[in-house]
Structure 1
Amino acid sequence: MPSPRRNVEGRPLGASASSSGSPGSPAHGGGGRFEFQSLLSSRAPGADPTCARLRASESPVHRRGSYPLAAAGSSQTPPPPPSEEDCLDLNPSFLGIALRSLLAIDLWLSKKLGVCAEERSSWGSVRPLMKLLEISGHGIPWLLGTLYCLYKSDSWAGREVLMNLLFALLLDLLLVSLIKGLVRRRRPAHNQMDMFVTFSVDKYSFPSGHATRAALVARFILNHLVLAIPLRVLVVLWALILGHSRVMLGRHNVSDVAFGFLLGYMQYIIVNYCWLSPHNAAVLFVLWNQQ
């Protein structure tokens, strides 16, 4: 009869478990019963509450569910109430909406009309002609031309008109530079800074100095010079085409040119109100000749 299998210590396999076991070992009810009884004992009235809390904290449901919510609720602070500026932005007025809409239309229309802004534009071949027209409305040629005519003039009536024209051109340069420095509106994005003789304020766009000068000079010539009708028509066309060329070249927006025409007309009203009399013009001319 074969002998039962023995373990390393020489005891039978069945006897080793029964002889070394205790009332709480798996021999008295199997491994499954031992684990179930230990789980029940941890929840029994006499069990250690610390162990129960530790086991509860190790539960996946508790760790992923309730504890992060509690921690998040204790760490986060309520958001601050919106300020008055935020409320104004959320509830814009009718005037603000109208101004923003007009600005959007102005930018869109200016970009649409900038057909000579680049060489590869739809009207890029006309760009040299537009730049020549740009020089005709520049302030430096007009100042130098007025000074030359004033120097060559031999009549006091002509000197009176030329002295007032010089005063108008200087007033135009002063007011346009002042407004550009205050507003500081950038030129359109599609503009190329290849203008004729620019200064520091010429990087700004509002208002158009060419438009103010065109309106001022055209108004001045039509009111104080005797010209034939074809020449008067040419002066008006020059002023209008010059203003329109500023938008075609991408130098200015439509609103810059429109305000420039208005400002030039107002400047002429100021010059006409402060018109230098023949006596004052003669005195200034003599002082200028002495210098």
Structure 2
Amino acid sequence: MSSPKAKRPSRGGGGGGGGGSPVLGAANGRYEFKSLSSDSATARLRASESPTRRRGSSSSTGSAGGHGPSEEDGIRLNPSLFRVALSSLLAIDLWLSKRLGVCAWEDSSWGSVRPLMKLIEVTGHGIPWLAGATYCLYKSDSAAGQEVMLNLLLGLLLDLVLVGVVKATVRRRRPAHNRMDMFATFSVDRYSFPSGHATRASMCGRFLLAHLVLAAPLRVLVLLWVGMVGLSRVMLGRHNVTDVAFGFWMGYCQYNLVEMLWLSPQALQGLLGQLAQRAH
């Protein structure tokens, strides 16, 4: 009897392994099946680990993880609404102040009324007001008059201190069309914000209307004087419009502070006595 022939795998079965079907192979006399699907998965994994894929994945991960332009960066690039509004207000302020500076020079459009504006400027200066309040305090015979003049003098000193502090803090330059020929200026007067004349006129105007018995025509004159002092600052080119507007508001508030710190002559004498005792 002839021995049976060993069965061999058909070549057709081995050729079909490219599609992922099992391949029959011999190892140590045994037939084993190997899956090509595992080899293709390994190849795909190696391809995914290539530098190109790694770079692409890292870039996509970085943009997704917050390395790309965030919303906060976009907000920082765009100017805020407050800054735009402030810049527009300052531009309007400079333009309007330049248009209203009609008495800044003798050859300006209203240069002929410059001497009158300078006279109004002197009436709002601090030195005449300090000298006048001191003289009235010295010449006053009644206790009520001395009390009023004393607090007016303290209010004027308070105005000088507060305006000087704000000017030194803000340090806003005077308008470019201004001519520095003011009466009795100091080092801090080279700054423009706020207008010391406007603060003084507003505070003194309220003080006079509140503590001096004035007839109706005189009260109207006080109000007109306050307005003319502020207008003269802009017409002479000394200040911008916002400097005067803020000065009026600041002087209005300063009067409230004077009323809160109101001193009588007796209270002032007691305060000076306590200071003298502490000094000794």
Query: 1:156 touches 1:282 (CA, 8 Å); kept in 2?
Result: no
Give the TM-score normalised by structure 1: 0.67
Q: Give the aligned partner of residue 133 of structure 1.
A: 120
Q: Give the aligned partner of residue 186 of structure 2.
A: 199
Q: Distance in 1 between matches of 2:109 and 2:96?
A: 16
Q: Give the aligned partner of residue 182 of structure 1.
A: 169
1:120 aligns with 2:107: yes
Counterpart residue identity of residue 183, structure 1? V
Q: Distance in 2 between matches of 1:88 and 1:281?
A: 57
Cα distance change, pair 117–88 in 1 and its aligned pair in 2 (3 A): farther
Query: 1:159 touches 1:281 (CA, 8 Å); kept in 2?
Result: no
What does 1:14-93 correspond to in 2, within 5 Å? 90-93=77-80
Q: Distance in 2 between matches of 1:203 and 1:108?
A: 21
What does 1:229-244 correspond to in 2, within 5 Å? 229-244=216-231
Q: Distance in 2 between matches of 1:188 and 1:278?
A: 43
Q: Distance in 1 between matches of 2:201 and 2:74?
A: 44
Per-residue deviation, residues 134-182 of structure 1 (Å, max 9, x unmatched): 0000000100111111111111110000000011000000000000000
Q: Distance in 2 between matches of 1:230 and 1:285?
A: 40
SS, match of residue 172 in structure 1: helix
1:155 aligns with one of 142, 155, 158: 142
Q: Distance in 1 between matches of 2:242 and 2:273?
A: 42
Q: Give the aligned partner of residue 133 of structure 2.
A: 146
Q: Give the aligned partner of residue 28 of structure 1.
A: none
> Post-superposition shift, 1:279?
1.9
Q: Distance in 2 between matches of 1:137 and 1:222?
A: 16
Q: Give the aligned partner of residue 249 of structure 2.
A: 262
Q: Distance in 2 between matches of 1:112 and 1:89?
A: 35
Counterpart residue identity of residue 228, structure 1? A
Q: Distance in 1 between matches of 2:220 and 2:116?
A: 20
1:211 aligns with 2:198: yes
Q: Distance in 2 between matches of 1:144 and 1:279?
A: 23
Q: Give the aligned partner of residue 96 of structure 1.
A: 83
Q: Distance in 1 between matches of 2:247 and 2:144?
A: 30
> Post-superposition shift, 1:119?
0.6
Give the TM-score normalised by structure 2: 0.70
> Post-superposition shift, 1:230?
0.4
Structure 1 runs not aligned, ≥5 long: 1-80
Cα distance change, pair 116–286 in 1 and its aligned pair in 2 (3 A): farther
Cα distance change, pair 88–197 in 1 and its aligned pair in 2 (3 A): farther
CA RMSD of aligned residues (A): 2.3
SS, match of residue 230 in structure 1: helix
Q: Give the aligned partner of residue 262 of structure 2.
A: 275
Counterpart residue identity of residue 96, structure 1? R
> Post-superposition shift, 1:87?
6.7
Q: Give the aligned partner of residue 209 of structure 2.
A: 222
SS, match of residue 121 in structure 1: coil
> Post-superposition shift, 1:280?
1.6
Cα distance change, pair 169–130 in 1 and its aligned pair in 2 (3 A): same
Q: Give the aligned partner of residue 59 of structure 1.
A: none
1:167 aligns with 2:157: no
Structure 2 runs not aligned, ≥5 long: 1-67, 275-280
